[in-house]
Structure 1
Amino acid sequence: MGNLKSVALPLLLAVSIMHLPFSESLWFFNYHIHVTNDLPLLNSPPGKPNLFLRCKSKNKDIGLRAMVKGQDYTWDTKINLSQTTLFFCNARWEGRKSRSFDAFVANRDDRRCSVYHMSCMWSVREDGIYFSRNNATWFNEYPW
């Protein structure tokens, strides 16, 4: 009987996973992506958006956001079974610069974002777009 359980349980688990839609599988963690506008105001008056950010994946458009200094753009995602989940963004600093960047790449971010509450944190700054895995140490991964 013990041998039957050791075979039946993994088989039942495999069949259950196959019947779930890939992106909605309950077997994978929920990742939180945060992009914060940390750009200086320069000539922009306080309260006026100076960053325009559009983020999307192959199947899901998160939308365009006009962001004021300090504002956070956040969404959640799960990694699909084929581990190809990808969200990319286009950041446009009003009247100055524009840059595309990968905000979430499954095979890059599955481990590094799990360090701090399943969060991938990005900060758009004057010299580029920074990443942090712990909200303390930041790396400029996408210079302007």
Structure 2
Amino acid sequence: MMKHLATAMLILIIKLETSSAELPDIFTRIVNIKNDLGGGIHLTTHCQSADDDLGVRDLSNGQFTEWKFRVTLIGKTLYWCSMKWNDIVRASFDVYDDDKFWCLYCYYSVRQDGVYLHNLEKDTWEMFHPWK
């Protein structure tokens, strides 16, 4: 009985992960990073995962970079970004990590005092990573 249940669960997991028509957004995540530094300050970002290098992006004030990806039930999804502005402030941190935190829509606002993450439930911006 347990062997059949385990087999059925494995088939269900594989079906869910490979069939986006049945559940189109349950495994899709969106990360959006916006330059809110103001004053004509450019933000340079370099974001990547173990499998995907999204390249270097130069963002003017008000511009953003955004990407979508699918997570799996088995394994780990981790994206991190390096950021700098005015060739002075530099930081590197995780923007999506299955083990520490997750979000369906990860909206980041890069400001002069740090990086904020939008809390969709409260509709507030919360400090995520202060500049050092």
| Both structures adopt the same fold (TM-score exceeding 0.5) | yes
Within 5 Å, which residues of 2 pair with 1:63-82? Answer: 63-82=55-74
Deviation at 1:132, TM superposition (A): 1.3
Instruction: Kindly provide the amino acid, as one letter, of the partner of residue 73 in structure 2.
Output: L
| TM-score, structure 1 normalization | 0.71
8 Å CA contact retained: 2:77, 2:98: yes
State the distance in 2 between where 1:109 and 1:32 align: 14
Q: Which structure has the larger Rg?
A: 1
Q: Deviations over 1:35-86 (max 9, x none)?
A: 0000022xx4xxxx61000000011101110000011110012223334100
**Deviating runs (4+, > 2 A) in structure 1?**
7-13, 15-20, 24-28, 80-83, 107-110
State the percentage of identical aligned residues.
30
Aligned to 1:131: 117
Q: Deviations over 1:74-115 (max 9, x none)?
A: 0012223334100000011123301111110113333xx2xx
Aligned to 1:142: 129
Aligned to 2:7: 11
State the distance in 2 between where 1:67 and 1:9 align: 50
CA distance 1:139–1:66, shift in 2 (3 Å)? same
Instruction: Kindly provide the amino acid, as one letter, of the partner of residue 105 in structure 1.
Output: D
State the distance in 2 between where 1:82 and 1:29 align: 12
Structure 1: 5+ residue stretches without partners: 1-6
CA RMSD of aligned residues (A): 2.9
8 Å CA contact retained: 1:54, 1:64: yes
| Equivalent pairs, count | 124
Instruction: Kindly provide the amino acid, as one letter, of the partner of residue 52 in structure 1.
Output: T
8 Å CA contact retained: 1:127, 1:143: yes
Q: Deviations over 1:116-140 (max 9, x none)?
A: xx20111110001111121831111
8 Å CA contact retained: 2:27, 2:72: no
Structure 2: 5+ residue stretches without partners: none
After TM superposition, the structure 1 stretch with the greater mean CA deviation from structure 2, 10-19 or 94-103, is 10-19
